Amino acid sequence: MEDNYFDDSWIDEFENDDKKYDMFNQEDNDSLKINILYVNKRNELEKINEKRIKLNTSNKITKEELIQLIKSNQRQENKKYKLISVLIYNLILTHEELKNFLRNGEEYSFMTSLKNIDDYGFKPTIHCLQEINTLYILLSEDTNVRKTKNANDANDANHTKRVRFNLLNGGKTRRRRI
């Protein structure tokens, strides 16, 4: 009887070759780079803080995480900053589109401006490009911050101004008796 032998060595060889390209497969985002940009009163970029956070949920940053990031970074070097904008850069390419992107990068736009602070879902990204996904928080120096009062301002606040009505009594205030 003839021995029916199926040669499956080509499958093993294909799987070994395929492992070399695993870095080009799309995967969920578990962490995210955060850039906090501080703009001074003259609209000049003053400082940039960069950090990486681990997302509580894959491919999603929650409203609470965003608010906590903003609130914890609003004060810097005894200055208060207000939120200008939140931008998200999410590089969403498949391995088939990668070659075209490298040739014609101008055709692609990956930046999104958040209109409301709410949960934001990221799309899976090619493994080797996940480091590029970034959340930008733009903060501007608050110009409406009250300055500390000096001694003269404090005395003015304690002084009561009298208001007089010149109707019947010729300019004198009248005491009401009960």
The reported pLDDT for the residue numbered 136 is 94
The reported pLDDT for the residue numbered 1 is 47
Task: Copy the structure tokens of residue 161.
Answer: 């101004």
Q: pLDDT higher for 12 or 165?
A: 12
Residue closest to 130 by CA, chosen among 2, 21, 7, 27: 27
Range name among 54-58, 59-63, 99-103, 166-170 with the lowest pLDDT average? 166-170
The reported pLDDT for the residue numbered 77 is 86
For tokens 């609003």, the residue is 74
User: Could you tell me if 29 and 133 are in contact, meaning their C-beta atoms sit under 8 angstroms apart?
Assistant: yes
User: Could you tell me if 36 and 134 are in contact, meaning their C-beta atoms sit under 8 angstroms apart?
Assistant: no
The reported pLDDT for the residue numbered 87 is 92
For tokens 């390209």, the residue is 21
User: pLDDT band at residue 144, thresholds of 50, 70 and 90?
Assistant: confident
Contacts of 56 (CB under 8 A, 6+ apart): 62, 65
Sign of CA dihedral 55, 58, 89, 113: negative
Domains of the chain: 23-143 (3.10.20)
